[in-house]
Homo-oligomer: A and B are copies of this chain.
C-alpha cells in the first residue's frame, strides 16, 4: 500500500484540527494509502518541536521553504495565515507536491487564478479546506437537490454568522488587517457559505453587495495602542445563479449568540430544505409529496444510510462532530491522490469563491450589480 507523507505548515488551531483528522481518518475509513505525518513547520522552532511531539510528526523545521522542497514530502498542508498561502502553494507546486490548503485560498482572485493555473499546469492535486460541505448531512442535502426531490431550485438564503468579534473589547489581530487577511467576515466565513451556495445550487452569475464595519478601532492585545480595523464586520449580498434561482448570502463576525451559524434554506418548486451547522446532524425537509394534511418540515437525523456516516457509527442519530468533517476531508485527500478520481473542492473551485469575494467588494464600492466572470 502506498504511503503518503504529509508536510504541514502552521501549528495553530487548524494545525491541530488537521493533526486530529490524520489520526481519525485512518481509523474510520478504509484508505487506499497510509498516512505518514512526516514534517511540521513553524517559524518558532521550539513550538515546531513541541507540536511535532504533540501531533505525532517525525520531523520539524522553522522554515516552510525547507519543508516544501524536502524530497520526503508528498503533500504540503498549508495551515499558515492567509497572506502566506500563495507563496507556499506556488513553491510547493514548483517542487511537484500535492497541496492541501486551508481556506480562503488567497487574498484575491488574481492570486487564486495564478495558483490554480500553476497547479493544473504542474499536474499536482489540490484540495481546499471547505470542510462544511464534507458533512454527511450536507451531502444528503446535495443528493436531495440533485435527485430533484425539491424540484427546481428557485431560492437560496445562506448565512455564516459568528460572534467572535462581537465584543468591542476583543483585541486587534492580524485578521483585521487587509494585508494579512484580505476582507473580514466576507473572506473568513463568507467564503464557506459562498462555496456552499455554489456546491448546492449552481455558479453565481451576478451579485450586489453591502457591508460595513461596526467597531472601527480595537486595542492591540499587548499594549494600549488603538488600531484601525481595516475590513468588514458584516456583509450581505443578493445573488443570481446561473440556473435562474435568486438568493441572499450573509456573513457576520459580530452576530451575538451565533457560534457556528452556517445556515441555509434552499427552496425549490416541490419542497424546501433547511440546515443549521449548530445542529450538524439534522436536515429539515419539506416535500409536497407528503399527503396533504400530513405535510410539515421533517427533521432527518443523519445515519448509516446517508453518505459516509456508517464509517463513523452504525447507528443513526448518534451524531458527528466538527472534527469528523475534517476526517472526511482527509479521506478525500488521500483517496484523490491514491487513485485518479477528481478531488474537490480543488484550487479551481476555491478560485470561483474568490471571484465572488472580489466582485462583492467592487459592488459595494461602486454601489452596483456586478456580473461575475
A residues whose Cβ falls under 8 Å from a Cβ of B: 13, 16-17, 19-20, 22-24, 26-28, 30, 54-56, 140, 150, 154-155, 157, 159, 162, 164, 166-168, 208-212, 214, 233-234, 236-238, 240, 246-248, 250, 252, 254-260, 267-272, 277-282, 285-288, 290, 292-301, 303, 305-306, 312-324, 367-369
Contact = CB atoms under 8 A, between A and B. Distances in A.
Nearest to A28: B20
Contacts of A154: 214, 233-234, 254
A354 to B, nearest CB: 22
Contacts of A267: 252, 254-256
Given A250-B157, A256-B271, A290 B298 contact: yes
A300 B252 CA distance: 20
Nearest to A321: B321
Consensus secondary structure, chain A interface: mixed
B306 A300 contact: no
Contacts of A157: 159, 250
19 contacts: A17-B313, A157-B159, A164-B315, A208-B210, A211-B246, A238-B238, A257-B297, A259-B301, A259-B318, A278-B319, A285-B296, A293-B300, A294-B298, A296-B301, A312-B321, A312-B323, A313-B322, A321-B322, A367-B369
What are the 4 tightest A-B residue pairs by CB atom distance, in nearest-first order? A259-B317, A321-B321, A257-B286, A298-B298
A237 to B, nearest CB: 8
A167 B124 CA distance: 48
Contacts of A299: 296-299
